Amino acid sequence: MTTREPRATVIEARALVRRFGERVAVDTLDLELRSGECLGLLGPNGAGKSTTVRILATLLAPTSGTVRVLGLDPVTEGERLRARIGVVPQELALYEHLSARENLEFFASLQGLSGTLLSDALAQGLALSGLAERANDRVKTFSGGMKRRLNVAVALAHGPELVFLDEPTVGIDPQSRERIFEMVESLRARGVTMIYTSHQLGEVERLCDRILILDRGRKVAEGSLAELQRHPEVHRRGGASLRFAAGGEAARARALLAERDIACELEDDAPDLERIFLDLTGRALRDREDA
């Protein structure tokens, strides 16, 4: 996890609300993202992650609040904005009866690419996703991992300035996941701004500069991993918090306490993101469907 120098504001949302009937999917959310940053959007199912992404990506209008993306209003200036953003949807939004090349070519040409630009984008997309050798095979013959990689490549073909990745690694093998990480890291290296939503906390830890945790449509916490580790709600679940100077001390302490029949939880290191996440959002099941 790296920290970058903040630059120009790419996304600015104030008091964003989105209702679906009585249900509030996004509740007075403030969000800011600077150029070149990668923001990890975390939250249990139904927290409002996908709804937030859809609003920012021009696919859904907010019920209230203000939002600017790349200096444009996604509702009234969506047409201009769409050429500058890329969205990797949760679903495999591909045509199964077309080949990888045909899928890439179709979506890139819809984004206005043609001639050399288009052929370069195709070559780059196929290489980046590791599908060059299977470029002419129909997508329906691909494994889940190959489809996921193509799903990402399609969103990046037109060289967007801002990319939304909505759980891009769901249900794939470690090799394909690693390749997608490489694709995201190459985007970061090029200074592309990103919002990355995932349930895989390790991914967010690895790829994102900042993390925003949503729960029931509301922002619960925001900051770098180090900042979240110091969040007042973390480690405040009752009982005491101990820090040991050297590794292995926790094991000794645990053994001593066990001898005296004292129940406790002891950790050697600072809380990881999973722990932070559970501390901030609670352990209760969230069965509400993610909007």
Partner 1 sequence: MKAWVLAQKDLRVYFRDRIAVLLGIGLPLVLCTVFAGAMGAIGSHDSVGRIELVIEDADRSAASRELVAELEKSKGLELDVLAADSKDTARGRVAEGDAPAGILVGAGFSAALADGGDLPLTLYRDPAKSIEQQILAGNLIPAFLGALGEGVGKRMSAKVLETLDFPMIGRERAQAILDASWTNMESLVQSIEDQGGLAADDDGSADEVTQADAGSGEDAGAGGFDFASGVAEILGIQVEDVTGGEEHAQAEKRGMQANSVAGMAVMMLLFGLIHCGGTLLDEQESGTLDRLRLAPGATGAILGGKFLFTWVVGAIQLLILFLFARLVFDTPIFRAPLALFVLSTATAAAVTGFGVLFAVVSRSRKQLEGLSTIVVLSMSALGGSWWPLAITPDWYQKLGHFTLNAWAMDGFQGIFWYGKDLSGILPEIGVLSGIALATSLLAWRLWERRLRV
Binding site for partner 1 (CB under 8 A): 57-61, 74-75, 78-80, 82-83, 85, 87, 89-95, 107, 110-112, 154-155
Q: How far is the CB of 99 from partner 1 (least distance, A)?
A: 15
Query: Smallest Cα–Cα separation from 205: which of 241, 189, 229, 187?
Result: 229
Q: How far is the CB of 138 from partner 1 (least distance, A)?
A: 15
C-beta of 76 vs 175, nearer to partner 1: 76
C-beta of 142 vs 277, nearer to partner 1: 142
C-beta of 158 vs 231, nearer to partner 1: 158
What phi, psi does 261 have (nearest 5°)? 60, 40
Q: How far is the CB of 86 from partner 1 (least distance, A)?
A: 8
- Distance CA(283)–CA(286), nearest Å, equals 9
- Distance CA(92)–CA(149), nearest Å, equals 10
- Distance CA(218)–CA(212), nearest Å, equals 10
**Secondary structure (H, E, C), 11-22:** EEEEEEEEEECC
Q: How far is the CB of 246 from partner 1 (least distance, A)?
A: 51
C-beta of 91 vs 265, nearer to partner 1: 91
Query: Smallest Cα–Cα separation from 213: which of 227, 203, 223, 205?
Result: 223
Query: Smallest Cα–Cα separation from 85: which of 193, 204, 197?
Result: 193
Give the type of residue at 57.
A
C-beta of 35 vs 111, nearer to partner 1: 111
Q: How far is the CB of 112 from partner 1 (least distance, A)?
A: 7
